[in-house]
Structure 1
Amino acid sequence: MKHPNLLEVICDFERLEEVEQYLKADDVFCTLGTTIKKAKTKEAMYRIDVEYPIAIAKMAREKGAKQFLIVSSMNANKESRLWYPRMKGELEEKLKGIPYEAMLIFQPSLLLGDRSEFRLFESIGIWIVRGLGRIFGNELRSRMGIEAKTVATAMFLVAQREHKGFHVYSTRQMEDIRKSFDI
């Protein structure tokens, strides 16, 4: 989408220093992440899901950014025995060490929405979550899955508020924030 106040910058994350001058902002929204299928290895996925966001957060903070908003994952826990939640927990722990005025972590459950690629198991999960929502109501569905646009709306709305410190938003909280704003 073209907009006179937006500048699209395409970069190689292995050479972020080449685009460092574009990281001057008040608020930084980070939704970077991948799948093991796309990344091919845990090491590559870790680089994309943890190392790149940390590098962006540090560079933007050095340029004066005040708020960092990032999509992590439900059940993120650096002590987890499961690799994915442990990786996301490590990301969150590392972000705590960067001195932002406000560090805002969004921990969605399964992200629902249209995808440009087909993911069999994720598609099955989305189908189940939406079906359970129809049967048991959106209360259960919101614990199991959340529309990506709801996460984006919640991030935008939270960024408009005055915050200090480290804050974590659950799927349920994102749903409530979205409902509080009549879009």
Structure 2
Amino acid sequence: MSQVLITGATGLVGGHLLRMLIQTREVTSIAAPTRRPLDPTPRVFNPYDPQLTDALAQVTDPVDIVFCCLGTTRREAGSKEAFIHADYTLVVDTALTGLRLGAKHMLVVSSMGANARSPFFYNQVKGKMEDALKAQRWEHLTIARPSMLLGDRTKHRFNESLMAPLFRLLPGNLKSINARDVATAMLVTALSPAQEGVTVLSSAQLREIAEREKE
């Protein structure tokens, strides 16, 4: 892995991942298109535009791997349509950009419970997003499905802060997970020999990978 494309770099998981990528010797260049500008950083190409698709179009150099950490909530997005645009359309646009630029491996943050046939709107959109990426027939596709994410957000999410104490006590995949651990697990997976086809990492597996990295 040397040339990287990442979207969602201003978010909770993506922010951690971008900082890790900058410090990773195997990474020689990073394209991080965003909707609002990042602080100038060596080796990071940051085209930005409120329409992320327009910023993605400015990435023209080849990439080896794609990380997509885009994600919001219906409340934050403001409507069902805006949520679908953020969590489905822009994710698919990220993937298409990566394929156009020659990437062989994509890693994407989805969600526990993602299922296109789910009765729950959030999980349904996440599931449809996963199905759309699978239909692109990536050589390697890694789907991370974390539980509730913990970390310092720029925007306060009331429901998450209310439920966080409970989710810390739950077992297995239900237990909440630190956003930094998700980023760590994604980077470790990207640096490891990739399995052919689709790999789904549950929240418990993401935590285990991150914990091994700390040892």
Which TM-score band (shorter chain)? 0.7 to 0.9
Candidates 127, 130, 138, aligned match of 2:165: 127
Candidates 15, 27, 36, aligned match of 2:54: 15
1:81 equivalenced with 2:119 (yes/no): yes
Paired residues for 1:14-163 under 5 Å: 14-16=53-55, 18-21=57-60, 24-130=62-168, 132=169, 140=171, 143-163=174-194
- The equivalent of 1:136 in structure 2 is none
What TM-score do the two structures reach when normalised by structure 2? 0.75
In 1, distance between residues paired with 2:159 and 2:190?
A: 33
In 2, distance between residues paired with 1:104 and 1:178?
A: 16
Q: CA deviation at 1:7?
A: 2.1
Whether the 8 Å CA contact 1:142–1:175 is kept in 2: the answer is no
1:41 aligned partner, one-letter code: S
Distance 1:21 1:59, change over 3 A: same
Whether the 8 Å CA contact 2:53–2:93 is kept in 1: the answer is no
Whether the 8 Å CA contact 2:172–2:204 is kept in 1: the answer is no
Could you list the per-position Cα deviations for residues 54-73 of structure 1 after superposition, in whole angstroms to 9, with x for gaps in the alignment?
01101211110111100000
Specify every segment of 5 or more residues in structure 1 that has no aligned partner in the other structure, as ranges: 134-139
* SS in structure 1 of the partner of residue 107 of structure 2: strand
In 1, distance between residues paired with 2:42 and 2:154?
A: 27
Could you list the per-position Cα deviations for residues 39-91 of structure 1 after superposition, in whole angstroms to 9, with x for gaps in the alignment?
11111100110011101101211110111100000010111111111111100
Q: Of the two, which has the highest radius of gyration?
A: 1
In 1, distance between residues paired with 2:186 and 2:106?
A: 10
> How many residues were matched structurally?
175
Candidates 198, 209, 214, aligned match of 1:166: 198
> What root-mean-square deviation, in Å, do the aligned CA atoms of Structure 1 and Structure 2 show?
1.9
Percent identity over paired residues: 34
In 2, distance between residues paired with 1:129 and 1:37?
A: 20
2:154 aligned partner, one-letter code: S
Specify every segment of 5 or more residues in structure 2 that has no aligned partner in the other structure, as ranges: 1-38
Distance 1:5 1:17, change over 3 A: closer
- The equivalent of 2:15 in structure 1 is none
Higher helix proportion, which one? 1
Q: CA deviation at 1:3?
A: 4.1
In 2, distance between residues paired with 1:182 and 1:175?
A: 11
1:148 aligned partner, one-letter code: A
Whether the 8 Å CA contact 1:110–1:144 is kept in 2: the answer is yes
2:81 aligned partner, one-letter code: E
Moved more, 101-110 or 34-43: 34-43
What TM-score do the two structures reach when normalised by structure 1? 0.88
